[in-house]
Structure 1
């Protein structure tokens, strides 16, 4: 149920991905309205008031996604994992196809072969860097160093792959971030994290998010990101405080169980611990999983949701601004309920949970469009178009 998944989770700048459609080349020298052949070409006719916020909508259904999910798993197992790349494309296409803004669906056009190549490279690098017994410590260390050096390039290629293969209103998104800028962020971030013993990690997350968003384009329109490093530090500090309070609360509850008020219950627990039955073991294991998931949701997923909301409230494209009214507390209980339902159904509810959470996140986003949002130019000079086609040869995906 992750986003990175879902999320995590409309191009990397938007953190939603979606469906392959037969579309004209969005990089050709023609206006957006020509590219929208067969679709309404007058935004004002559909949306009389340009200043009225438009909300994203998601129409994906758990029943449909369950069928897709089961098919993907079966084919992935039968092909010993090879089909997983095609499965990922089908999943992203489904999410994109069911994500709409102003009556138009998003599109995803990625090639499974590039995802498969990226996974082979990633698995190969990880295996080689950890195969000390096969290659020896020195050679394994050398390969580990090569992996560290190659990671920024792989990360940038993955971002560009998702961005260039996502579209809205038949206009492709683009990513113009350079490898030089990525390596600069990577080197500076590594030094900062080392010298601060990891305490500056929120700054690294902020810089990577900013790099990803500010170098994304829709047609010729650039995205802007106005959040600050301080806001990201605040998110991580809040996460530490909330997690600590929950842990203290659970410890207090455990301590209270040994008090005179709960002496009988404490005795019962003691008997279970010393002579547990099979059913009691299962119950204890279930309670343990619920406890672990509670800490996990607070410690990791809560942070992701807060970053998601903070980011969307500070994203703009041209003069059009985005907003997010996601209720973090409500989503937390939804996640927890989905987790319990998934346990009780032995995993069958997972696809439904994915759709529920995805819908909640996507539909919390809105945009107040300006005129340039409608007439985003899909015109690029021939040199840019040609170089983009060449760059597409080197785009791969290393994510799962």
Structure 2
């Protein structure tokens, strides 16, 4: 696979998207989303052909208006129920309706729309998931992870990945994901969980060591732990600043650990991904280099105050794509030709009401 995008070229698109989104009070962001997807998908190429993205800004906008309408209705009903002591008893029912019915319904519609609007060699992808299974994997599964204090995380990660991949098809041929090792997922998952706490522990040890050294230093002057009130405010300020810095570092490391786990899971998925009898994928992604790109991108984003975002996005996408390999069979040309013929015969019907796109993925 190859990625032909360029940071300088994308910077113009990115800057124009931001400017027009601000000027139009966010309305243009729907068209900005389409331009971004078309750029990155179009420059992601398999055997020299990029992916297509066929949604329009108006379709995305209509989908967002549906979501905003649902949220506005939910807020109105919530405020109405809170006005009456008897009606307030129905508030939990409203919450359940929203989170356990509307949310998975919209999520499933989003996955279907995103797949349908994406193509390769004019052959469209399709989503075969159902409301019930989307409800299980995208609504119930996260609660299972929380209730198990994270222990169910590896199993949920594997099952969600399998559900996401195996319910996508290119034309009529479904993608498949060979069994990923739950043991390997569990090991990587818990290592990523332990990393932030290891950093927190090391930081607290260093802080405590500094306090002890300061105490020993005063003891040499016969004032062990008897610091004068002079400079007490400065000492407290420094100590509180160090504690806040450690907490910020802890949060940053949690974010980086999650990104690293997702990157590792993506690599394992690519190594197991197949389009049966047509193509199989592999990944040569190196976690050391991938981790360096994630960390350095975060640092450069902060130092540039976000201006470097286009180059950072292109850099990350380029590495992901160009470390992915595809082995195709002799059946590829026949498969694509057959799918194109069938697609032309069926037509492309898709209602605007279904145009919900939350950018759902893994």
TM-score normalized by the length of structure 1: 0.72
Residue equivalent to 1:85 = 30
Report the Cα distance in structure 1 between the residues aligned to 2:52 and 2:215, rounded to whole angstroms: 58
The runs of 5 or more residues in structure 2 that have no matched partner are: 83-87, 218-226
8 Å CA contact 1:58, 1:362 repeated in 2: yes
Residue equivalent to 1:370 = 329
Could you tell me how far 1:208 is from its partner in structure 2?
A: 2.6
| Residue 242 of structure 1 pairs with residue 195 of structure 2 | yes
Residue equivalent to 1:308 = 266
Higher RCO (CA-CA < 8 Å; seq separation 6+): 1
Residue equivalent to 1:340 = 299
What is the alpha-carbon root mean square deviation over aligned residues? 3.5
8 Å CA contact 1:213, 1:224 repeated in 2: yes
Report the Cα distance in structure 1 between the residues aligned to 2:186 and 2:72, rounded to whole angstroms: 34
Report the Cα distance in structure 2 between the residues aligned to 1:80 and 1:344, rounded to whole angstroms: 27
Secondary structure of residue in 2 paired with 1:60: coil
Could you tell me how far 1:217 is from its partner in structure 2?
A: 1.6
Report the Cα distance in structure 1 between the residues aligned to 2:245 and 2:144, rounded to whole angstroms: 41
Q: Which moved more, 1:366-375 or 1:100-109?
A: 366-375
Residue equivalent to 2:115 = 163
Could you tell me how far 1:93 is from its partner in structure 2?
A: 0.5
Residue equivalent to 1:111 = 56
Could you tell me how far 1:323 is from its partner in structure 2?
A: 0.8
Residue equivalent to 1:207 = 159
Distance 1:66 1:207, change over 3 A: same
Residue equivalent to 1:255 = 208
Could you tell me how far 1:89 is from its partner in structure 2?
A: 0.5
Report the Cα distance in structure 2 between the residues aligned to 1:290 and 1:62, rounded to whole angstroms: 29
Distance 1:272 1:122, change over 3 A: farther
Report the Cα distance in structure 2 between the residues aligned to 1:318 and 1:128, rounded to whole angstroms: 45
| Residue 385 of structure 1 pairs with residue 346 of structure 2 | yes
8 Å CA contact 1:128, 1:143 repeated in 2: no
Could you tell me how far 1:347 is from its partner in structure 2?
A: 1.5
Q: Which moved more, 1:158-167 or 1:171-180?
A: 171-180
Pairing of 1:1-400 with structure 2 (within 5 A): 56-129=1-74, 132-136=78-82, 137-138=88-89, 140-147=91-98, 148-183=100-135, 185=137, 189=141, 192=144, 196=148, 199-228=151-180, 230=182, 231-260=184-213, 274=236, 292-298=251-257, 300-319=258-277, 320-376=279-335, 377-378=338-339, 385=346, 389-390=349-350, 394-399=354-359
1:141-180 per-position Cα deviation (integer Å, ceiling 9, x unaligned): 3432222212222112111111111111222222233335
Could you tell me how far 1:378 is from its partner in structure 2?
A: 0.9
Distance 1:149 1:159, change over 3 A: same
Report the Cα distance in structure 1 between the residues aligned to 2:95 and 2:145, rounded to whole angstroms: 19
The runs of 5 or more residues in structure 1 that have no matched partner are: 1-55
Could you tell me how far 1:251 is from its partner in structure 2?
A: 2.5
Secondary structure of residue in 2 paired with 1:305: helix
Report the Cα distance in structure 2 between the residues aligned to 1:394 and 1:370, rounded to whole angstroms: 35
Q: Which moved more, 1:342-351 or 1:220-229?
A: 220-229
The size of the alignment, in residue pairs, is 335
Secondary structure of residue in 2 paired with 1:257: helix
Could you tell me how far 1:80 is from its partner in structure 2?
A: 1.4
8 Å CA contact 2:123, 2:340 repeated in 1: no
